[in-house]
Amino acid sequence: MTGWRTLFYKEVLRFWKVSFQTVAAPVLTAVMYMLIFGHVLQDHVKVYNQISYTAFLVPGLVMMSVLQNAFANSSSSMVQSKIMGSLVFVLLTPLSHWSWFFAYVGSSVTRGLAVGLGVFAVTALFGRPSFVSPQWILIFAVMGAAMLGALGLIAGLWAEKFDQMAAFQNFIIMPMTFLSGVFYSIHSLPPFWQEVSHLNPFFYMIDGFRYGFFGVSDVNPWLSLSIVSAALLAVSAVAVHLLRIGYKIRG
């Protein structure tokens, strides 16, 4: 195995050995959202014609789980390694910054997609969506997980303790996720908040992902793809640069 594949394998094993916590727990959380919001709002909210609110929720919950768990994988791994001191053993290897990037982001994509599949398998029992364009589903799922994996890598490099990591997730990742149209269409918002939503790249990930299921979306999927691609490139460039200079990991 080459260096990055070995590190990738190690990172996958890290979260898979505690899969009850890293995979099963997020699936249960998504099911609770489905039970609560689906039960309360099913007969009161109509987003798209001929699509039930419960079915509308499924892609949003799946993508939200993918994004949050991809971020959590790389960020928690990096900050734990720094605090526990085990990161020095990776630093001693002749791995390039590209090897680090592909291993950490690749394992984040793997965890995000694993959780997403689990969430879909369970929530689809409540409201089964269609598959109009499976290629859009796959593209936005992989790109979204990769972007959040790279963002988690940046956060993990920056944070020096768990409190800082929790602040990054609670004040940046969680608000951007919940304000991205997981539980609603942005057309139901006042004009000001619609404009704010258009500044949120998470909105385009979820909207494009939902388009793959229903063939309808709040914005053109090609626009979503362009914005998500630009955001992914920008975040990846920052992450690779920080790894190259050894930001907060090399003395």
Count CA within 13 A, CB hemisphere, residue 233. 6
Quick: pLDDT tens for 63-100. Answer: 999 999 999 999 999 999 999 988 988 888 889 999 99
Is residue 93 within 8 A of residue 10, CB to CB? The reply is no
Average pLDDT over residues 201-217: 93
Quick: pLDDT tens for 20-55. Answer: 999 999 999 999 988 887 777 666 666 777 778 888
What does pTM read for this prediction?
A: 0.92
